[in-house]
Amino acid sequence: MSTFQTNSIKNIHKLSVAPMMDCTDKHFRMLMRKISSEVLLYTEMIVAKSLVYTDNKKKFLDFNNEEHPISIQFGGDNPEILKEAAKMAQDWGYDEINFNVGCPSPRVSSGNFGASLMKDPLTVAKCIESLKNSCSLPVTIKHRIGVDDDDSFKNLNNFVRYISNAGADRFTVHARKAILKGLNPKQNRTIPPLRYDVVKKLKKLNPELLIEINGGFTHIDESLKALNDFDGVMIGRSVYKHPLRWSEIDQKVYGINKKTNSASTIIFSLIPYIEKHLTNGGKSWDICKHLINLVEGIPKAKIWRNQISNKSIKKELDIEYLLNLTSKLEKMGY
């Protein structure tokens, strides 16, 4: 069941790590928990229909208890399917449900969910209402500032107000519009210009709503500045590619007095988790593909990453080898 009360949602989630396909799996989330005990973590987007109709629910829903607070993100457009998915999410122990109206991939758009749904606020409202009425968890939404030529501020503001009336607890706004025809998902993360001014105007006109901004944040200090205008900041690719750049989240954002973990400390702390994963038949690459991003900007960092990558991919990496390489990091002060 939920680990926090709905009325505390504003105070807890000043910073969150964006749901990213092929990135924010449970192994990366465990790594992030070694960096921050407070930041809100997200699953990768889960297609609600796939969850409801699969026999292997655990494949989609499983997470480690240490990952709290954690939000599960659903994609879909069928209120009845989302109703069942919401019940499962609550029963499994998630802290929050997020509804995806921001993903611009062709596969998602062809299924009439993701960013394309911004053009259909009635369906989005029905989905939010279904999620809200099926569980006691906070239900939030992630969306863009517009889609294709449907990108006026009036339409954005009307969309947010309409979805607010349907019961959405927080709006995470990616400060770029989505271009569904002509750009692939990667290009949609960089080519449409960031419009923080649009999201700031949205918050100013709707001060009673919880509005979190997403897009382009690369440092904690940028996030702290944005928190003067918004209720939260969601960080994405930067935290995945440069996790230690965000090692002071708890201290600077949440005011917690604690020592910052080094790369070697983080890896050592994950050894029991990695051992358990390997014992249960998992592959070392499942976890090590995330660990390699911890080591950068130091002497021979590339060599260290290559050693881990090559051994993992060849299924030759064992705990002793990982411990040996990590000890070398520790001796170097990293």
In angstroms and rounded to an integer, the radius of gyration of the C-alpha atoms of the chain is: 20
pLDDT band at 2 (very low <50, low <70, confident <90, very high): very low
**Residues known to be catalytic:** 103
What is the per-residue pLDDT for 103?
Answer: 85
Which architecture characterizes domain 6-252 according to CATH?
Answer: Alpha-Beta Barrel (3.20)
What is the per-residue pLDDT for 107?
Answer: 62
Q: What is the pLDDT of residues 3-52, one digit of tens each?
A: 333 334 555 689 999 999 999 999 999 999 999 999 999 999 999 999 99
Rounded average pLDDT over 210-230:
97
Q: For residue 95, what is the enclosing H or E element?
A: none
What is the per-residue pLDDT for 111?
Answer: 59
* Rounded Cα gap, residues 326 and 267, in angstroms: 7
What single-letter amino acid sits at 230? F
What is the per-residue pLDDT for 7?
Answer: 38
pLDDT band at 113 (very low <50, low <70, confident <90, very high): confident
Query: What DSSP designation does 179 have?
Result: -
* Rounded Cα gap, residues 173 and 272, in angstroms: 37
CA torsion sign, 42 to 315 to 275 to 302?
negative
Domain boundaries, the chain: 6-252, 263-331
Rounded average pLDDT over 141-153:
94
What is the per-residue pLDDT for 9?
Answer: 56
What single-letter amino acid sits at 180? L
Range 263-331 classified under CATH 1.20.120: yes
Calculate the CA 153 to chain-centre distance: 26
